[in-house]
Amino acid sequence: MIARLITTAVVLAVAGSPALAQIGKDAKLLAPFKPVVAKANESTVRIKCDDKDTILGTVVDEAGYILTKASELRGTVWVRLPDGSEYEATTVASHNATDLALLKVDVKGLKAVTFADTEKVPAGNWVAASGPTSDPISVGIVSVMTRNLTGRDTAIVNPNRGYLGIYPADEKDDEGKLLGAKIAELSPGGAADKAGLKSDDVIVEMNGKKIIGQTSLRDFLDTLREATSST
């Protein structure tokens, strides 16, 4: 059950949901979308970490499974359901590459969200984000169809982990052979900037590990982060 749920969510996240444009939070704009998100609101919950409202989650199975953003979770995690009741939650699965976590609360009969095939949502359609109340959080328009994310589009903003502050790209020779990971952009004031790295620098080795392209760099940093967090 857990594997099926987290796999479904990961597939959706990796493929990338349709890109949104013209995001709006104006009350007059949101009002007409209340009936649109009414059903999804019933599957949206608040998640509290150490007694502080932190993020929202989505019920994906009536047996108490809830999907949320993994990097926001810390300390003791509680889930507040739409009826106001609260339950302590445990993390039963996670997927670092997509920053997803699957929580479990000891309660039955929750209203699970209904998934739709994003590839069948045509560009130009209106979409709305549900919240834990009757109001939608925001609305927008599908501007790009579902596609596999690559390069910097795969970056996940995670406030609870180290921030290197670079956007890597592949460095290749004239024959297309990967030579290393090039710093395409450097965030001013970031860790890499403070360490003296410059735009267009090419990373070929880290901690004795040979770096061949941006994917190799990301994989090494993920491995390093996981090893650090487990100690």
The pLDDT value recorded for residue 11 is 38
Residue 19 sits in the same domain as residue 128:
yes
The pLDDT value recorded for residue 82 is 87
CA angle, 125 then 127 then 128, to 5°: 160
Contact 178, 172 (CB under 8 A): yes
**Final residue belonging to a domain, choices 144, 176, 196:** 144
Q: Give the whole-angstrom CA distance, residue 178 versus residue 212.
A: 6
Task: Give me the phi and psi of 205, to 5 degrees please.
Answer: -160, 140
The pLDDT value recorded for residue 20 is 43
Task: Work out how many domains the chain is built from and give that number.
Answer: 2
**Final residue belonging to a domain, choices 118, 144, 170:** 144
Residue 73 sits in the same domain as residue 140:
yes
Residue 18 sits in the same domain as residue 110:
yes
Per-residue pLDDT of the chain (231 residues), as tens digits, is: 544 444 444 434 433 444 444 455 666 777 888 898 888 889 999 999 988 888 899 999 999 999 999 888 989 999 999 888 999 999 999 887 778 999 999 999 999 998 877 777 778 888 888 887 777 888 888 877 777 666 656 665 555 555 577 777 888 888 888 899 888 877 777 678 888 888 889 999 988 889 988 888 878 877 776 665 554
Residue 20 sits in the same domain as residue 77:
yes
Helices (H) and strands (E) in the chain, counts: 5, 14
Residue 79 sits in the same domain as residue 181:
no
Kindly calculate the radius of gyration of the chain based on its CA atoms and give it in whole angstroms: 20
**CATH number for 99:** 2.40.10.120
CA angle, 25 then 27 then 28, to 5°: 115
Q: Give the whole-angstrom CA distance, residue 129 versus residue 41.
A: 9
The pLDDT value recorded for residue 7 is 42
231 CB-near residues (< 8 Å, 6+ apart) = none
Q: Is residue 156 one of the residues assigned to a domain?
A: no
**CATH number for 206:** 2.30.42.10
Residue 92 sits in the same domain as residue 173:
no
Residue 128 sits in the same domain as residue 30:
yes
Residue 52 sits in the same domain as residue 110:
yes
The pLDDT value recorded for residue 67 is 95
Give the domain range for residue 190.
162-229
pTM over 0.85: no
Q: Count CB atoms within 10 A of the CB of residue 14.
A: 14
